[in-house]
Amino acid sequence: MDLELLRERSRIIASIRSFFDRRNYLETDTPLLSPDLIPESCLEVFETARLPPPESRSRKPEPYWLIPSPEIWMKKLIARHRVSMYQICKCFRNGESSGRFHSPEFTMLEYYTMDAGYKDSLIITEDLFAELGIKVPFLKITMEEAFSRWAGFSLCDAVKRGNLLDEAKRLGLDVHEGIDIPTLYDLIFIHAVEQKIPRDMPVALMDYPAFVPCLAKKHTAGTVERWELYANGIELANCYSEETDPAEVRCFFENEAAAKKKSALVNHQIDSDYWKIFSLENSGSAFPRCSGVALGLDRLIMVLTGRSTIDGVLPFPMK
């Protein structure tokens, strides 16, 4: 990376910090290593170990994992202090190729706003992008509208009627009987919808289907309060109205942990008591209504600097 791009990267990060500092968000600095993680069956993680000191070599090494997101730590702080906060930190996802949009090590901007829902977070994100010189307002389109417009069918109706497989075949996708609905949805979205998202302005895809596992509040029948943001055809950010019901959080952990145990190449420890931070009985106060955004900062810098690959904005890209 040349010096001018290093300076531009530094300027962008400083502008983001200034944006949130002026709005009285608390900047947090949480660990990159964790003894347990939120289970997410869609991604792989990096495992390491903490070795005992020489005088305690009879003890076994303790397993730790590099965080794929600071969410697990930030939500513990939110439960305790109930303040809006943000963090810029390194995150790690294993099993991903280096290249155009992915790097196993990357920089994340994550921010949580108290007493806010996903639509409030979208306004805040528009304000941030405007300050960084990106065209706003965003084009806002529901996932149902996106499928109707670009894949040529109603996602809701196809799921209800059980003919999502037929729609995939109609689109020319190589699918087989017995494939599950989330996998079919992913295939259709990637091949028939994502590639047609406009590139002349940022696009927020709203109201994701509820069958895609995530810690977002339910919205209407069959959808959750979630959006993802695209710019120049690049997925930049993911947002929820955060689920605050301890029973729902516990159910998500149990289901995703079971799925991960079956499919993960690298399994990790899961805190079976994590749901308790959302419980009035166990934490002393209910988890506050809030909304969180996870934004890939390297990808945003790509958009702002006109680079075509993530490697082009990393000081030391992984090979």
Q: Residue length, the chain?
A: 319
Write the DSSP assignment of 153-194 as a string of letters: S-HHHHHHHT-HHHHHHHTT----TT--HHHHHHHHIIIIIG
Mean pLDDT of the chain: 94
Residues sharing a CB contact under 8 Å with residue 2, sequence separation 6 or more, in sequence order: none
Helix (H, G, I), strand (E, B) or coil at 245: coil
CA gap 245, 251 in Å, rounded: 10
pLDDT of residue 135: 92
List pLDDT tens digits, range 244-301. Answer: 999 999 999 999 999 998 889 999 999 999 999 998 765 567 899 999 999 999 999 9
Q: How far is CA 37 from CA 34, 123, 212, 237, 271, in A?
A: 7, 30, 19, 20, 7
Q: How far is CA 160 from CA 175, 288, 313, 316, in A?
A: 19, 34, 44, 48
Residue 2 CB neighbour total at 10 angstroms: 7
Q: How far is CA 104 from CA 63, 64, 307, in A?
A: 20, 17, 19
pLDDT of residue 279: 87
Write the DSSP assignment of 262-300 as a string of letters: HH-SS-----TTGGGGG-HHHHSSPPPPEEEEEEEHHHH
Tell whether the model's pLDDT for residue 131 goes beyond 80. yes
At 221, the pLDDT band (50, 70, 90 cuts) reads confident
pTM of the predicted model as reported, rounded to 2 decimal places: 0.95
Tell whether the model's pLDDT for residue 98 goes beyond 80. no
Query: Average of pLDDT values for 83-95?
Result: 97
Query: Average of pLDDT values for 88-106?
Result: 88
At 318, the pLDDT band (50, 70, 90 cuts) reads confident
Question: Which range has the worst mean pLDDT, 21-30, 93-102, 155-164?
Answer: 93-102
pLDDT of residue 319: 77
At 206, the pLDDT band (50, 70, 90 cuts) reads very high
Query: Average of pLDDT values for 56-63?
Result: 85
Percent of the chain whose pLDDT exceeds 90: 88
pLDDT of residue 284: 60
CA torsion 121-127-132-133 (nearest 10°) is 130
Q: How many helices (H) and strands (E) does the chain have?
A: 10, 11
List pLDDT tens digits, range 142-166. Answer: 999 999 999 999 999 999 999 999 9
Tell whether the model's pLDDT for residue 122 goes beyond 60. yes
pLDDT of residue 283: 56
pLDDT of residue 124: 98
